[in-house]
Amino acid sequence: MPATSGPMTPEANPVDDAAIAWFVRLQDEQATEAERAGFAAWLAADPAHAEAWREIEHLWGSLGQIARPMPVDAPGRVKDGRARRPAARNWRPLAAAAAILLAIIAGWQFVPPGLMADHRTAIGERRLIGLTDGSTVELGPDSALDIAFAADRRRVRLIAGEAFFTVAPQPGRPFLVEARQGRIEVLGTAFDVKLGQDAVSVAVAHNAVSVSAAGGQPARLDQGQTVSFDGGGLSAIGAVDPDSVAAWRQDLLIFHDAPLSQVLTELARYRRGRVQLLGTDLGARRVTAVFDARRPDAAIETIARSLGLRMLRATNLFIALADW
């Protein structure tokens, strides 16, 4: 059943964006009095502005930063004009705060792949696409797809994210799906393709497909089988429950002994913002769980509790998970 972009699609929050922008700007010791006055006016203009700013201050304070931003007076002084004595600072939380700010700034500059694709979904959105040959593609959240049909072949390129294909048979007109270094040729009807961090995975729900990668020999996948590939070629063929293939179509995210970095990459397609890991080898920790795709923040909270991680939040845009 196709999903809409209703409650699953997070709305952009310009207040959060503005609060983070002011925070970064006021960290600069060269910030002008005009900028500080502009911040004061923005802060007073709406209670929501003050709430967003308090959330950022809370994160900054919880990271161990003693001296919080001073928006109204000059750097190094308090409002009564007396010089502020430099506070002793713990290098570890300061390094974490620097990592957070860099991650936020990097997020602003990031251009998503497939921006000009034929079909693209937003974060948290699913879309059912009907093709001219009678086939359908259910495009997962934050995904992108190009279509190039010709008289003698049907070619689709998955640029980002995940898609579930249900292909209408047309003898003499093969249906091909390209994804990074590999290609899937349809021999049957229904299968799932997902672009992961390092590899592409293919799983068959009905009938069969042929998968090839990196110039190697193709492998046949039948119903209930899965394979992944990268620049080095195909993995060994594994088994998968056909009913769980593309469980995301029923708002379920299933992970079995998956690295935390992979889990967070998947969750990132369901929530606006960024989750940053602060600690040594946190991304390699293993996760086995089933999450509700409609509640990605609850999934992150569960992960933090189960792995014993500290969860720090800066508005709705940024979450840090730390092991200290």
Domain count, the chain: 3
Q: DSSP state, 5? A: S
Distance between CA 92 and CA 37 in Å, rounded?
32
The more confidently predicted of residues 3 and 178 is 178
Same domain membership, residue 233 and residue 130: yes
* CATH code, domain with 215: 2.60.120.1440
pLDDT at residue number 109 = 45
Domain that holds residue 204: 119-244
Q: Is the pTM of this model over 0.85?
A: no
For 37-92, write each residue's pLDDT tens digit.
Answer: 988 999 999 988 888 787 767 655 554 443 444 444 434 343 444 444 444 434 44
Give the integer Cα–Cα distance in Å for 8 and 272: 11
Q: Is 314 contained in some domain?
A: yes
Domain-embedded: residue 30: yes
The answer on pLDDT for 193 being more than 50 is yes
56 and 72 inside one domain: yes
Q: Which residue in 207, 119, 216 sits closest to 163, CA to CA?
A: 119
Residue 21 lies in a domain: yes
Phi then psi for residue 58, to 5 deg, are: -60, -45
Residue 228 and residue 128 share a domain: yes
Domain ends where: 77, 109, 141?
109
Q: Does a structural domain hold residue 201?
A: yes
Digit-coded pLDDT (tens) for 121-171: 999 999 999 999 999 999 999 999 999 999 999 999 999 999 999 999 999
68 belongs to a structural domain: yes
Query: For residue 265, what is the enclosing H or E element?
Result: helix 260-267
Residue whose token pair is 């004595």: 85
Return left, alpha or beta for 246; rule: phi > 0 is left, psi -120 to 50 is alpha, else beta: left
> 3-class DSSP state for residue 241?
coil
Determine the longest span between alpha carbons in the chain, in angstroms.
83
Tens digits of residue pLDDT in 197-212: 889 999 999 999 999 9
Among the candidates 212, 244, 276, a domain finishes at 244
**Domain-terminating residue out of 109, 133, 167:** 109
Q: Are residues 124 and 230 in the same domain?
A: yes
The answer to whether position 9 is within a domain reads no
Extract the tokens encoding 195. Answer: 């672009």
